[in-house]
A = this chain, B = another copy of it.
Amino acid sequence: MRQLKPEVVEQRKRHLLQWIVHYYIRTSKPVSSGLIAEEAGLDLSSATIRNILTELENEGYLAQPHTSAGREPTDKGYRFFVDYLSDVQRLAAGERERIEEQYRRRIGELDTLLVETSRLLSRVSQNAGVVLSPTAKKQSVKRLELIGLGGRNVLCVVATDAGLVRHWPMALAFTPTPRQLTALNNFLNEQVKGVPVERVKAQVTAKLGEIEREFREFADLAGELAREVGAIVSPESLYIEGADNILSQAEQFGDIKEVQSLMRVIGEKERLAEVLEREIRESGTENLPARVRVRIGEEAGLPELKAASLVTHVYRHGDRVVGVLGILGSKRMEYSRMMGLVDYVGRLVEARLSEWDEEEGR
């Protein structure tokens, strides 16, 4: 017979694998040789398909849940599928429209932006939406203000260049007059404006000596303040929305145990935050700056996420990566659509952040 070139055979095999993963994602049933022969339009008999399937299984892309069953993709199979996904699906125009509509609403603060973004991701994807906020440490202080609340109590408000606002109450050692507060605010702002949050403490304490004569009673306040800026502003926060979506897609998961452990991870945000932070760290180390990254099953690093996949997109402020957003859902998600969504939303968030920079000068 006519001998086919090896490349062609390889090509066909890959194409078949793509088809299988895609089909499996949609139907969530093991794919059998007979089914492929009928549906895939390859014009091969089921026997031939079986041969190919055996190869793919030996290579670790597919596995059988039990002997007399079809094949399911392994994590390696999903990985192949995602890596060679030819088209990251563009979002439908209507969907884009609706998303932008949401961002058109005036959002002026980082927190609001991130909360809305996680809601959006969850709603559109029908999975859980996650957004990790930039760590405040790297942001620089734009404004720091003490507001008298009566008596010794003041409210301390810090705003950073990236739009983050944090506030917390403090009790002073004395009852300040309005004049004193104004003076103190002026002093503080001169000192900390533009200083990265993580260095506020050093900056303020360094300058403390200079004012000792005039505002001696402020000295310890300023010191305490500097400490609090470091302590309170620093914890980064993780916004997760749409956990209920995951539960209502429970069929997508094999076992309820899997859903439970997934939910538990969502509950203990710290562990998930750690996973996402790793995305940020690793975003610099790659050659090709692929914006959208997919973690399949245990690739994310948590055994609890075995049955899940995570689609993420780091976002930058200026030229530094400051945060990461994405969706968390079943390993059997529609990768193409999800990647498209995450990519799009990620860009919108970046755009919004840089808009804030521009408005600055106005």
Distance from A292 Cβ to chain B, minimum over Cβ atoms (Å): 26
Residue of B nearest to A169 (CB): B108
Q: Given the complex, which residues of B lie within 8 Å of A244, measured CB to CB?
A: 243, 260, 263-264, 266-267
**A149/B143 contact (C-beta < 8 A), A244-B266, A247-B263, A248-B264 known:** yes
Given A147-B143, A264-B244: A167 touches B169 (CB 8 Å cut-off): no
Q: Which of A142, A244, A245: most chain B CB closer than 10 A?
A: A244
CB distance from A100 to the nearest CB of B (A): 20
A94 interface contact, C-beta 8 A: no
Within A213-252, the residues touching B (CB, 8 Å) are: 242-245, 247-248, 250
1/0 per residue A22-52: CB within 8 Å of B?
0000000000000000000000000000000
Instruction: Evaluate contact between A360 and B151: CB separation under 8 angstroms.
Output: yes
| Bound form: Cα–Cα A44–B32 in Å | 62
Check if A145 sits within 8 Å of B145, measured CB to CB.
yes
Is the beta-carbon distance between B152 and A362 smaller than 8 angstroms? Answer: yes
A182 interface contact, C-beta 8 A: yes
Is A147's CB under 8 angstroms from B159's CB? yes
Q: Give Cα A242–Cα B362 distance, bound, in whole angstroms.
A: 44
Is A91 part of the binding interface, using a Cβ–Cβ cutoff of 8 Å? no
The answer to whether A359 touches B151, judged by C-beta atoms less than 8 angstroms apart, is yes
Encode A253-293 as 1/0 by CB contact (under 8 A) with B.
00010011001101100000000000000000000000000
Q: Which residues of chain B have C-beta atoms less than 8 A from A260's C-beta? A: 244, 247-248, 250
Is the pair B142, A359 in contact by a Cβ cutoff of 8 Å?
Answer: no
**Complex alpha-carbon distance, A256 and B244, angstroms:** 13
Chain B nearest CB: distance from A79 CB in Å?
29
Task: Tell me which residues across on chain B come within 8 A of A109, comparing CB atoms.
Answer: 167-169
Instruction: State in angstroms the CA–CA spacing of A155 and B158 once bound together.
Output: 10
A361 within 8 A of B: yes
Q: Which residues of the partner chain B approach A142 to less than 8 Å between Cβ atoms?
A: 149-150
Question: In the complex, how many angstroms separate the beta carbon of A109 from the nearest chain B beta carbon?
Answer: 6
Least CB distance from A257 to B in Å reads: 10
Residue contacts A-B, CB under 8 angstroms, 23 given: A108-B168, A142-B149, A143-B149, A143-B150, A143-B155, A145-B145, A147-B157, A149-B159, A150-B360, A150-B361, A151-B359, A151-B361, A151-B362, A153-B359, A153-B360, A155-B157, A155-B159, A165-B167, A182-B182, A243-B267, A247-B247, A248-B260, A250-B260
The 7 residue pairs across chains A and B that have the minimum distance between CB atoms: A108-B169, A244-B267, A151-B362, A244-B263, A247-B263, A145-B147, A244-B264
